Amino acid sequence: MKTILKTLTCVLAFPLALAGCGSGGGDGGSTPTGTLHVQMTDSPSCGFDHVYVTVSKVRVNTNAQAGDTDGGWTDVALSTPQKIDLLSLTNGVLADLGQTALPTGQYQQVRLVLAQNQGNTLANSIVPTGGGEQPLDTPSATQSGYKIIRPFTVQPNTLVDLVLDFNACKSIVQKGNGSYSLKPVVTATPTVVSGTISGYVAPVEAGAAVYAEQNGHVIKGTVADTNGQFVLTPLEQSSTNGNYDVVIVQNSVATGIVRSVPVVVNTSTVVATSSAPIALPASVMHVASGTVLPVSAQAIVRALQPIGGLNYEITSANANLDSGAYALNLPAAAPLIGTYSGSLPVALAPAASVAGQYTAEADSVSGATQSSAVNVSTTDQANVNFSF
């Protein structure tokens, strides 16, 4: 899917019912308005060739607690539901979902509403690597929509670009019968306060997952392209929540970490160039596995690597909805780590003392968390179990 260029006019990507797009007050006391423009992007996905979702509309409300039937909702309704392959939306590629006029003020809640699967017509589906297309169950998305709490402000006579980041990897959960369900992990970022981190890995590492993290949590992810280039965008400016750690992960390769990378609005911070890419050594991979029970916990299990008192998320897996089983594929070699200083190349050195050492953290849907130390330096570690 080609990148959809942002527009600062009131020309619509989809026919929407607009009133006074971008107009201000002064016409008989009418309420000043601005314009909301909504786009979608995606983080890398695990083990799938395609992840399709069909968006029917996006809803916004000034009240973070507003229910489905409460007042105050404004819809960005697509004239025709748009089927999107989330895996095509990496390295800054955006799918345009349309725009609408909004009264000025601060908005708190966003809802992403998907179309329904109808018989053999699959609006939402996945294609596992090497397999065929399968339906994707979307329990609440086709009625009330998926709820995203993210404040943003609409000013008079201005356009707000809001990017919805759909993390397909963390959103798809397998059931015991082999079918799949959507448990969405979606964030929203206004581009007015955002910038970019970009760089290169060695071409032989094309396809590596690259994450921008803060405090051990993935904020944005992408996949290095065939040239090894990666682009992490949009990312909120560093003054909001601090700098970012760039974490590079690929099967059979040691993890690479560039710490403390700043983000400046409308600017790209470069952490490596094509002439001096980040090159990582080979690594044996081992598996940490177990169960999270009861299955009603609907847990996601994250593999964190502790280095110098800080945690870095290396990978994650949703526990099976029927059995609670999960598996994490992890490098046994020491990660290479360095700190961004503004000059390139960033010097990376192995953190030998933490080779194969991880913390498996199970996060339940209720918010409860449990963790267990994992050592895969020499072999797999099975039966890392959690009970909520």
Are residue 260 and residue 290 in the same domain, yes or no? yes
Instruction: Give the total number of structural domains in the chain.
Output: 2
pLDDT for residue 357 = 98
pLDDT for residue 25 = 38
* Contacts (Cβ under 8 Å, ≥6 apart) of 387: 292, 293, 370
CATH classification of the domain holding 223: 2.60.40.1120
Residue 189 lies in a domain: no
* Contacts (Cβ under 8 Å, ≥6 apart) of 123: 52, 53, 54, 81, 83, 114, 115, 116, 117
Residue 97 lies in a domain: yes
pLDDT for residue 1 = 32
Tell me which residue range forms the domain holding 118. 33-184
pLDDT for residue 202 = 97
Q: What is the pLDDT along the chain (388 residues), one digit of tens a residue?
A: 333 323 222 222 323 332 333 333 334 456 788 888 888 887 776 788 899 999 999 999 999 999 988 999 998 878 889 999 988 888 888 888 888 888 999 999 999 999 989 888 899 999 988 889 999 998 765 567 888 888 899 988 888 888 888 888 888 999 888 899 988 888 888 877 789 999 999 999 999 999 999 999 999 999 999 999 999 998 989 876 689 999 999 999 999 999 999 999 889 999 999 999 999 999 999 999 999 999 999 999 999 999 999 999 999 999 999 999 999 999 999 999 999 999 999 999 999 999 999 999 999 999 999 999 999 999 999 999 999 9
- What is the pTM (predicted TM-score) of this model? 0.80
CATH classification of the domain holding 139: 2.60.40
CA atoms within 13 A on the CB side of 154: 27
> Given 119, 154, 184, which residue is the final one in a domain?
184
Are residue 167 and residue 207 in the same domain, yes or no? no
Q: Check: CB of residue 146 under 8 Å from CB of residue 112.
A: yes
Are residue 132 and residue 200 in the same domain, yes or no? no
